[in-house]
Structure 1
């Protein structure tokens, strides 16, 4: 399926957002550069200290405050299809006061979840009697349910990162450092079609026991297990994220034993996905396998996170999240086992909940790859 900007960011989305804003009891949403603004308008605006803000009131017409020097970019972005007024402001203007004046008397507004404190505090000063809440309370549930076009974009992202994992064995050699391997992987992520490299984790040997290990100058040793967790953003704005485990030479029997448990746990969680089951039950499907095998204390994070315009967004696959799965939910399934000071492992696929079952968007082998 070929997706266009109109498919990913339909004009009809603005009306749906206004309706959801009113239903949530908010008077307006104030959306500054970031994933919330891009979701509603398609505009991937530069995050600057100068205010760019899409104002979505429940009463009255939406408008976008734009620094005059950014007006051409806004007018040539997908936001131009929305038919909203672009209000250009000059360097000596106060755009916050303009928004407050134009909105008039309000009770509660939603601020973009990624709005800078600089901007939220300026809005508070301009509207001191207005309650501020996160726009995510409105946009989170909408963004969680991916459209067919969004699923297609995530599927393309998954294929791109799979192509990178296919190249990882040629980069992993004893004697090379994690940092050098990471640089090769970053170049491959861009070559596979991503526009940005969002993260590259190469956790070798004992560093594999740190789930968010940063690249280091540790030299990869023969027999090392290596956790490779990588992701980037595609031109569509949608993200990839996938983790695989490699071993430089023959792994230890201890590592193979718990890797097999991990693979079983990840499979159980993926097989559990279908409409109506809760997010926490997907977490439990993986966690129960790992706990039964005696490794429960070494699974130290949630099983997954939503993915879309952000690598981490709703829904979160974690105990306590009783949200039922719905068709269109997209999220990672990534159980891990981490033995401090020794080694660790994680297997991660992006999944989409379909009408009757889950669909994996990553298809590279989940077997332990020996290089």
Structure 2
């Protein structure tokens, strides 16, 4: 039985839009392998394997899924089956690239999703006799603006991860290791409504100065500043991602003041996110607050990233990105400050651009929380 998170009409509209965008880009066809794009378009989840699974679509083409026969049941349980899409199945010893060519016919420009590996891209290109190009611009545009159903799922994910952050003080205390705290958090991520744990970062003391630290066996100490960055996927496959910064005991006043500036910087970026603003302008709103306080060099990364069926996707809220924000775009706003060998801090919410500005999907307290 199908357990699709959205109605089949939603997936039909996504396929139609992708085909129209391919036509606008001058592509005769696009080939989408397993990964976030395939999940978005037809609900097929999973990673690429050595046996080719691919969706072929384009202007004037009947969408076709090339699939190993052993995977048919799985694929039929998705929107592929619900919509009655054409299936071209194959078994070991047969040539799936011929099936791709049959689905496309004559073509001069064909795009492939960026998750399709060279293992398949090279033989497909040889079989079609064309130089394949990335379909990323088409697929990015398809996924970047969320509809109401997607926003509802992101809101659900935000509420679930907020519930976990509110419980962090139960586990975060001196004498425990980062790994022990992370294990409790991971269990809570599932208990609070996620189907998977995508990541848990517990960066205590000097480990917090590494933005992509995960966990270690370091024992948390009184006085530590601790970065907790967590996320997972709810049953629909849409993701949460939220960071809060905690103090074990009473923080040093100078440290608390710097984190207070970070909270203001994050709020400034939230205030700047609205239709018509550029991604770079939102980034600058946070960066300017930190720079004015002498903390500009402590901010080591972009202000945010898009989110949906992937934790990281377009749009990227970064310097130099002149992409104009539109209603329905969803992304993180997560400035941070990092002091090597000492401590780090980051505050992160997911926001959705609305007609008037943006909606925060994370509302757990933003200020430094003492535990």
**What TM bracket, shorter-length normalisation?**
over 0.9
2:290 paired residue number: 290
- After superposition, give the CA deviation of every residue in 1:177-227 in whole Å (9 maximum; x if it has no partner): 111111111111111111111110000000000000021111101000000
Q: Does 1:164 align with 2:196?
A: no
2:347 paired residue number: 347
- After superposition, give the CA deviation of every residue in 1:135-171 in whole Å (9 maximum; x if it has no partner): 2210112211000100000000000100111111111
Structure 1 gap segments, 5+ residues each:
none
Equivalence map 1:261-280=2 (5 Å): 261-280=261-280
CA distance in 1, matches of 2:83, 2:136: 21
CA contact (8 A) 1:5 1:78 kept: no
1:45 deviates by: 4.4
1:102 deviates by: 3.8
Alignment: residue pair count? 368
2:200 paired residue number: 200
Q: For residue 218 of structure 2, give the secondary structure of its aligned residue in structure 1.
A: coil
Q: For residue 331 of structure 1, give the secondary structure of its aligned residue in structure 2.
A: strand
CA contact (8 A) 2:112 2:134 kept: yes
Q: For residue 166 of structure 1, give the secondary structure of its aligned residue in structure 2.
A: helix
Bigger CA drift: 50-59 or 229-238?
50-59
CA distance in 1, matches of 2:176, 2:240: 26
1:126 deviates by: 2.4
Equivalence map 1:1-371=2 (5 Å): 4-6=5-7, 9-45=10-46, 47-127=48-128, 129-371=129-371
CA distance in 1, matches of 2:317, 2:8: 28
Bigger CA drift: 130-139 or 17-26?
130-139
CA distance in 2, matches of 1:36, 1:9: 15
CA distance in 1, matches of 2:24, 2:277: 26
CA distance in 1, matches of 2:70, 2:360: 43
Please identify runs of 4+ aligned residues in structure 1 that moved more than 6 A: none
CA distance in 2, matches of 1:57, 1:283: 36
Q: For residue 164 of structure 2, give the secondary structure of its aligned residue in structure 1.
A: helix
1:233 deviates by: 0.8
CA distance in 2, matches of 1:102, 1:358: 42
Could you state the TM-score of these two structures normalised by the residue count of structure 1? 0.96
CA contact (8 A) 2:209 2:338 kept: yes
CA distance in 2, matches of 1:102, 1:325: 36
CA contact (8 A) 2:278 2:324 kept: yes
Structure 2 gap segments, 5+ residues each:
none
1:338 deviates by: 0.4
Q: For residue 132 of structure 2, give the secondary structure of its aligned residue in structure 1.
A: strand
CA contact (8 A) 1:9 1:40 kept: no
1:250 deviates by: 1.0
Could you state the TM-score of these two structures normalised by the residue count of structure 2? 0.96
Alpha-carbon RMSD across the aligned residues, in angstroms, is 1.5
CA contact (8 A) 2:158 2:350 kept: yes
Compared with structure 1, are the counterparts of its residues 8 and 193 closer, same or farther at alpha carbon in structure 2 (3 Å cutoff)? farther
CA distance in 1, matches of 2:62, 2:9: 23
1:122 deviates by: 2.8
CA distance in 2, matches of 1:87, 1:98: 7
Q: For residue 167 of structure 1, give the secondary structure of its aligned residue in structure 2.
A: helix
1:10 deviates by: 3.0
1:46 deviates by: 5.2
Compared with structure 1, are the counterparts of its residues 47 and 9 closer, same or farther at alpha carbon in structure 2 (3 Å cutoff)? farther
